[in-house]
Amino acid sequence: MKKILLPIDGSPRSARTIEMLKHSYRPDEADVTLLMVEFKDERVEMSKIFEKYAEEAKHRLAELAESLAGYQVRTQLLFGTPGPEIVRYAKKEKFDLIMMTRSSRGPLQKLGSVASYIVKKAPDCDLLIMREAEEE
């Protein structure tokens, strides 16, 4: 079984990765972790607003996990800077594959900052970075 990390930011663009996973792997072939990293400035103290935001993120992750019925799915919510947190988590958990979409920068432009960071710093695993769906 392939251990797959899907960094998700909650946008329709990043949720598209789930559809690609379903088209690429059967439920018995994939052990999936949906990872959401919410930016947090360490100088900001925990507050009621932050707690509410965290609960909303957990709820969104649970909804996305439900869309993978039949798959073995875990969810993980981390706080910090997305690129470094994704790489740190991927190294710690030893994933076989990281699947994600890149930010919208046009078809000929460079990857976004998070995808670029992951390409440069990712652990020894496969990477699949999909471009955003074409606008119709």
106 domain residue, yes or no: yes
81 domain residue, yes or no: yes
Q: Is the pLDDT at 134 greater than 60, yes or no?
A: no
Q: List, for residues 17-63, the tens digit of each pLDDT value.
A: 999 999 999 999 999 999 999 876 655 555 666 677 788 889 999 99
For residues 4 and 86, give the distance between their C-alpha atoms in angstroms, rounded to a whole number.
Answer: 13
115 domain residue, yes or no: yes
Q: Structural domain of residue 122, as residue ranges?
A: 2-130
**Residue count of the chain:** 136
91 domain residue, yes or no: yes
Residue 75: φ, ψ to 5°: -125, 150
Q: List, for residues 77-128, the tens digit of each pLDDT value.
A: 998 889 999 999 999 999 999 999 876 555 555 677 888 899 899 888 999 9
For residues 36 and 60, give the distance between their C-alpha atoms in angstroms, rounded to a whole number.
Answer: 9
CATH assignment at residue 27? 3.40.50.620
Domains: count for the chain? 1
135 domain residue, yes or no: no
Confidence of residue 130 (pLDDT cuts 50, 70, 90): confident
Closest CA to 95 of 34, 25, 45: 34
Six token digits for residue 98: 């990281």
Residue 113's pLDDT is what? 82
